[in-house]
Structure 1
Amino acid sequence: MEEKTLPENGSLVRFMRNDEEDWRDGEYDAENKMFIEIYSTELTTHNWTDVGKWELLDV
């Protein structure tokens, strides 16, 4: 990932927060600039500035 690049809207991604070491699977919402966890029991979003690494998931 290049610094300050973000995935396209609706992309399935796995991401890691700056303050954690665990990867999470999610979707990127470009309109709100949020990463949304897809396997969470509750709606859990993460601001793009809190995410240090992300990768596109192969579908």
Structure 2
Amino acid sequence: MITGFCGGFTTFSTFAAENYSLLQNQNYIVLISYVLLSIILGIIAVILGFQAASN
């Protein structure tokens, strides 16, 4: 459980750092695309994971 928590924490901090870098470089289109695609694809991956586990 601790490994999962720490792993998720570092993954999110990397995601936030990349977003901040894009914001500093004024890459707004890439920033918005990256955030939206990350969230949407993450949700799709969870749905597919649940479907695969239930079969």
- TM > 0.5 fold call: no
Higher helix share: 2
Q: TM-score, normalised by structure 2?
A: 0.21
